[in-house]
Amino acid sequence: MDKKVYSTQGKELKTVALSDDVFAHEVSEGSIYHAIRNELANLRVGTASTKTRSEVHGAKTKPWRQKGTGRARSGRKQSPVWVGGGIAFGPRPRDYSYVLPRKVKQLAMKSILSLKASSESFKVVENFTIASGKTKDLVQILTQLVPSTERTVLILKDDDANLKRAARNIPWVQFLTFNRLRAHDLFYSKNLVIMEDAAQNLGSFYAGKSEA
């Protein structure tokens, strides 16, 4: 597929051919769901914890004798039926992370990129950097490329330290490198700006890889 390449001033420069296998792929909603679910699960800390009856501090003697009081029998105050007692089926520390099949993740990235490439919010921009590392210089460029200050993802061709430094203070901008994409950020972005070299690198990075 062919896409227009814009300058940092928002003017059309030329047309670039993007890989159809990556940017015009059939959208798989199921793979997108599983990729986002996997990323969110891997972010969960899983430190919620409660004490069972064996961990609650207190005397282990019977509150009263077994018979003759007219009250229900009771073993000890750590029982879950007592106030201050243990929790019967409360949460325990656990690991929520799991491994998603590589082919499913690749298919999800292709699906999201194809979904975005078919909309007006997708733009290819010429390669640029922010030599000064200043936020205002990057904002000046982005305002020429995106219509509003909604959630914007900028895909870089490499780890540009100065560009990342300029973008870290902009709350509505997230930056990703072409070989380390996140499905959640891409899918929920309102604007997707991708550098020309990053678009070409994505074509070679994902194109031709088998799918689930």
Q: What CATH number is given to the structural domain containing 176?
A: 3.40.1370.10
- Count of other CB atoms within 10 angstroms of residue 165: 15
Do residues 64 and 106 both lie within one domain? no
Do residues 15 and 113 both lie within one domain? yes
Q: Give residue 36's pLDDT.
A: 97
Domain membership flag for residue 139: yes
**Alpha carbon distance 94, 132 (integer Å):** 45
Question: If 0-12 CB within 10 Å is exposed, 13-18 middle and 19+ buried, where does residue 167 land?
Answer: buried
Q: Give residue 210's pLDDT.
A: 47
Do residues 88 and 193 both lie within one domain? no
pLDDT above 70 for 208: no
Domain membership flag for residue 212: no
Question: If 0-12 CB within 10 Å is exposed, 13-18 middle and 19+ buried, where does residue 124 land?
Answer: buried
pLDDT tens per residue, range 18-45: 889 999 999 999 999 999 999 999 999 9
Model confidence pTM above 0.85: no
| Overall domain count for the chain | 2
162 Cβ neighbours under 8 A, 6+ residues apart: 129, 130, 131, 132, 133
What is the span of the domain harbouring residue 51?
Answer: 45-95
Domain membership flag for residue 34: yes
Do the Cβ atoms of 156 and 198 come closer than 8 Å?
yes
Do residues 142 and 54 both lie within one domain? no
Do residues 152 and 189 both lie within one domain? yes
Do residues 59 and 149 both lie within one domain? no
| 67, 95, 123 - which closes a domain | 95
pLDDT tens per residue, range 124-155: 999 988 888 899 999 999 988 888 788 999 99
Do residues 11 and 111 both lie within one domain? yes
Do residues 183 and 86 both lie within one domain? no
- Amino acid at position 71, single letter: R
Do residues 107 and 83 both lie within one domain? no
Do residues 33 and 129 both lie within one domain? yes
| Exposed e or buried b per residue across 28-58, where buried means at least 16 C-beta atoms within 10 angstroms of its C-beta | beebbebbbebbeeeeeeeeeeeeebeebee
